Structure 1
């Protein structure tokens, strides 16, 4: 009997629920840590007299670290164990957040944001794998909706914290709160996050059988006499170079394009919207309010995705949300200077952009075999981050060159349409794979 397949088709145990809950909590911390720079941007740019281009580089510095973390750190999760990689990533995040509190100038703050981003990048892709492997087939799409909501909830909490803290204690206070939350989650992860079962089966580290039986005991499952055999195609996986072999190469390139363009639009909205609204209205508090509205819409979007995934295939939800979000960016640009209407459209923008992220997280892990999953998702997120790094910087140059904020929003509708086309092509290719090349995919996820 295939124990992993049996677990995926059975109701989730308490251990599985706990693993997913820890992953969602970690996404909440990630969302808070990423968003604090956007919320601090208006006060920070005034305190240090930053021009739009410099501010764009500062907002992108965390994305630089996230790209490096996804590309460099995440593949090690397939080598040094996924739980251990998660703890290392959290140490980097906590260190970067603590140092950010004491930054003396913009160069130092950029460096510390890169360090924190390095940990976040190594963590997010790894979390995707944990959630995919510990979720049941029936609930995976819905769980990924909840999982993605953690990021939006964290970003929203960051706004609620930043609103009262920054006027009284300055922009450093929000970094201090983020640092404390990261350290707390380091302790929680050490205590409650289990190792990946599929990692133990596919990589067979020392004492793998004993460790797997210990986890099965907590799941009230009978112990195994020996580890299950792994398919030959999984045993043959070696690492990054397998992403460029045969059809996998085409899939990887399309996936990087689709995810990269989607996440570039997402980070433009999440990093620049508070500042653009604050500048347009002359009211910094209104900028924070808009950031809250967008992120709260993101929470709603994740829950909507989670509910709809019970009834619809996640790939269909992703395609729909990508096309609707492209339209929403255009409409938001057209209503940007009508504050009341812009706030409403901003909430819709948050809904559809977060649904995009949930859709990618729900549909992409199963494109890769277990032995290559950490590397595959890590490179998807990493390449996406490399593309998204250019997003805040590009906006800074466009604004400095005389572009109006509303035209920038309209421009970002185009990448989302291209992203949708890339994903449709991937699904078409994977549906035509020979049976031996197919990677197990559930009805609700696909």
Structure 2
């Protein structure tokens, strides 16, 4: 029996929806935990007399940790399970956030931010895999779109709450909120977050069948007398061999290049747009407004991707959104002398790039079997995070070298086009792979095309 295919073709059960909702809440808290330092930065700088250079390191510490966690922590999910890794990451984040609450100097705060970032980086990619595995074929794009929207929603709501807490209790109050929410979700996940059924089929130890049957019962299905046949893995048995082996090498390359080029443009826009527009308008408040509108557009784009992908292939939606995003970058840069138009285009800029992120989150996990899914996806996220650190720094050097902001936006439209091409080419690459699998008598994985 092809159990995975039967789940993918059936309507989603309340049990599956609950698993996705838990992941949504977790990514909302992650969105807050990642950006809480930016909310607290003015107060921290004032209290400790921190210079801009050190403050920049504090703001980047979480991103460094996230890159490390995505690359080195997420792959553990393919060995110890999605659920167990999520619990470990929540413990790491809880310790990091609690440490931030009691940090005694800038170096201790920096270390706590790196630690929290490691847990967040390890969990974000892992949660994406859980959402992908518990969504059926028809609702996969919608589930991933809503899940991806949780990150900017958490950051936006967290920003409002942090403003109140910092005003009333000082900057430590914002970290207390993040620590408390993380600890609460650690308890919730311990009791309610299920293990991946695909991981259990792959693992095949003494506990796999009882755990799988508990999941089957919660989904209203009859228990199994034995585990379904495990997927047949050709070639190298290691996870590294599967991710970079001949069977999926081209898909891995396309996903990595496509996501990295997208995330470079994404983080450039999210980090530099407020400052660039503030200088173009001569009004700092305009820059703040632009940042809020880009974030608002991100929420709309992530949810919009999910809605549209219910009746169109996610890969087509991804490609279209990225091509339109490249156009939006050009139009945005051309409207600096018309601030009202620039603000409107800023909404579309955030909307289309976030739709692209949702797209890659949707189409990438099914490329790999359950054996290597967390590793393959986590490494892609990690590579993107490294680029997310480099891109804003590179822009600083370009501006210092005399390049106009308009030209930089034009420049970053190019990687968006490249990302669109990579996303589109994933389809033919997957079809060629499945054709080879069919000739070899191997069952392909369930794909979102």
**Superposition map of 1:210-221 within 5 A:** 210-221=210-221
Once the two structures are TM-superposed, the CA of residue 127 in structure 1 deviates from its matched residue by 0.9
Matched residue, 1:348: 348
**Superposition map of 1:126-145 within 5 A:** 126-145=126-145
Measured against aligned partners, the alpha-carbon deviations of 1:355-404 in whole angstroms (never above 9, x if no partner) come to 01110011111111121111111111111112222123223434444555
Work out which structure has the larger RCO, using CA pairs closer than 8 Å and 6 or more positions apart in sequence.
1
Measured against aligned partners, the alpha-carbon deviations of 1:167-216 in whole angstroms (never above 9, x if no partner) come to 55554443333222222222221121101100110112331111111111
Matched residue, 2:89: 89
Q: Find the residue that maps to 2:445 and give its secondary structure.
A: coil
**Would you say how many aligned residue pairs link Structure 1 and Structure 2?**
443
Once the two structures are TM-superposed, the CA of residue 235 in structure 1 deviates from its matched residue by 10
Matched residue, 1:323: 323
CA contact (8 A) 2:280 2:336 kept: no
Matched residue, 1:370: 370
CA contact (8 A) 1:128 1:361 kept: yes
Once the two structures are TM-superposed, the CA of residue 54 in structure 1 deviates from its matched residue by 5.1
Residues in 2 aligned to 1:406 and 1:108: alpha-carbon distance in whole angstroms? 39
CA contact (8 A) 1:268 1:392 kept: yes
Q: Find the residue that maps to 2:357 and give its secondary structure.
A: helix
Would you say 1:79 and 2:79 are equivalent positions? yes
Residues in 2 aligned to 1:88 and 1:415: alpha-carbon distance in whole angstroms? 35
Residues in 1 aligned to 2:316 and 2:42: alpha-carbon distance in whole angstroms? 38
CA contact (8 A) 1:42 1:275 kept: no
Q: Find the residue that maps to 2:395 and give its secondary structure.
A: helix
Output the TM-score relative to the length of structure 2. 0.90
CA contact (8 A) 1:213 1:224 kept: yes
Query: Once structures 1 and 2 are overlaid, which stretch shifts more, 432-441 or 281-290?
Result: 281-290
Residues in 2 aligned to 1:412 and 1:379: alpha-carbon distance in whole angstroms? 23
CA contact (8 A) 1:42 1:284 kept: no
Distance 1:55 1:21, change over 3 A: same
Residues in 1 aligned to 2:235 and 2:40: alpha-carbon distance in whole angstroms? 48
Output the TM-score relative to the length of structure 1. 0.90
Residues in 1 aligned to 2:423 and 2:356: alpha-carbon distance in whole angstroms? 12
Residues in 1 aligned to 2:360 and 2:197: alpha-carbon distance in whole angstroms? 23
Query: Once structures 1 and 2 are overlaid, which stretch shifts more, 83-92 or 264-273?
Result: 264-273
- Structure 2 residue runs of 5 or longer lacking an equivalent are none
Matched residue, 1:240: 240
Residues in 1 aligned to 2:255 and 2:334: alpha-carbon distance in whole angstroms? 30
Q: RMSD across aligned C-alpha pairs, in angstroms?
A: 2.7
Would you say 1:440 and 2:445 are equivalent positions? yes
Distance 1:349 1:108, change over 3 A: farther
Query: Once structures 1 and 2 are overlaid, which stretch shifts more, 223-232 or 93-102?
Result: 93-102
Distance 1:34 1:278, change over 3 A: farther
Q: Find the residue that maps to 1:233 and give its secondary structure.
A: coil
Distance 1:400 1:356, change over 3 A: same
Query: Once structures 1 and 2 are overlaid, which stretch shifts more, 352-361 or 338-347?
Result: 338-347
Residues in 1 aligned to 2:290 and 2:238: alpha-carbon distance in whole angstroms? 46
Once the two structures are TM-superposed, the CA of residue 234 in structure 1 deviates from its matched residue by 7.2
Distance 1:59 1:224, change over 3 A: same
Q: Find the residue that maps to 2:7 and give its secondary structure.
A: helix
CA contact (8 A) 2:243 2:368 kept: no
Residues in 1 aligned to 2:409 and 2:89: alpha-carbon distance in whole angstroms? 33
Once the two structures are TM-superposed, the CA of residue 427 in structure 1 deviates from its matched residue by 2.6
CA contact (8 A) 2:254 2:422 kept: yes
Once the two structures are TM-superposed, the CA of residue 17 in structure 1 deviates from its matched residue by 0.9
Matched residue, 1:25: 25
Q: Find the residue that maps to 1:232 and give its secondary structure.
A: coil
